[in-house]
């Protein structure tokens, strides 16, 4: 049993219930009291690790109606998997014993849109650091573009489904986590950790499952 004393299925169910409360406009805002702060001074036992996009519209604690100490969160543009993310997720698994990792994308993602622009005929200027991050999204954009017959590998932003590319990117980032981290891959194989990929809908506030890895079958 994890340090949270919850299974991956129980954790996912609690996140779905929290998202339901958020969508309905009746959040509970749990674990946000001075007493809760005091309880967490000596330790933390989050029940899920979240890799999400830095977009200001999609904070995990709010969309899942969670509070202090509930989620172990790392965010960057386009929820890309890099060395820092892998280290963070490994810490969540090894030191904190989380049974569930969630990779959370969202619709109308600026990072995906920027990657599509970079994959077009006239890519706009950007910084080297941003370009490096977008390069991790580029394979999903190319895969989505070439999923239909095309006369050219050059992506046309008017013809590609950006949200579908975002879902492909989620699957690829989960594959990156399990292929680049022996710790996470072994935890999944041993049934200690499950991974869920999902996409948050900006219009409705609903977080929709895309894929899952491990014992938890979404």
Q: Show binding-site residues for Zn(2+).
A: 53, 55, 106, 109
**Helices (DSSP H) in 79-157: which residue ranges?**
83-94, 110-118, 128-135, 138-145
**Helices (DSSP H) in 64-200: which residue ranges?**
83-94, 110-118, 128-135, 138-145, 162-180, 182-189
- CA-based Rg of the chain, rounded to a whole angstrom? 18
Whole-angstrom distance, CA of residue 199 vs CA of residue 174: 13
165 C-beta neighbours (distance < 10 Å), count: 27
Annotated binding site: 53, 55, 106, 109
Whole-angstrom distance, CA of residue 216 vs CA of residue 20: 20
């Amino acid at each position: 049993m994890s340090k949270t004393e919850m299974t991956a299925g129980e954790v996912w169910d609690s996140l779905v219930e929290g998202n339901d409360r958020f969508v309905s406009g009746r959040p509970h805002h749990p674990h946000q009291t001075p007493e809760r702060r005091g309880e967490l001074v000596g330790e933390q036992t989050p029940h899920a690790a979240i890799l999400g996009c830095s977009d200001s519209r999609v904070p995990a604690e709010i969309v899942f109606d969670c509070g202090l100490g509930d989620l172990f969160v790392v965010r960057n543009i386009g929820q890309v998997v890099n060395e820092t993310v892998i280290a963070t997720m490994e810490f969540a698994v090894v030191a904190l014993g989380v049974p569930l990792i969630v990779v959370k994308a969202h619709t109308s993602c600026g990072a995906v849109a920027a990657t599509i622009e970079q994959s077009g005929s006239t890519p706009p200027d950007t910084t080297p650091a941003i370009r490096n991050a977008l390069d991790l999204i580029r394979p999903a954009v190319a895969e989505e573009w070439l999923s239909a017959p095309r006369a050219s590998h050059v992506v046309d932003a008017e013809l590609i489904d950006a949200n579908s590319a975002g879902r492909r990117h989620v699957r690829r980032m989960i594959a990156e986590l399990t292929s680049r981290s022996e710790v996470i891959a072994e935890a999944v194989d041993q049934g200690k950790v499950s991974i869920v990929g999902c996409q948050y809908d900006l219009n409705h506030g609903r977080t929709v499952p895309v894929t899952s890895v491990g014992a938890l079958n979404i």
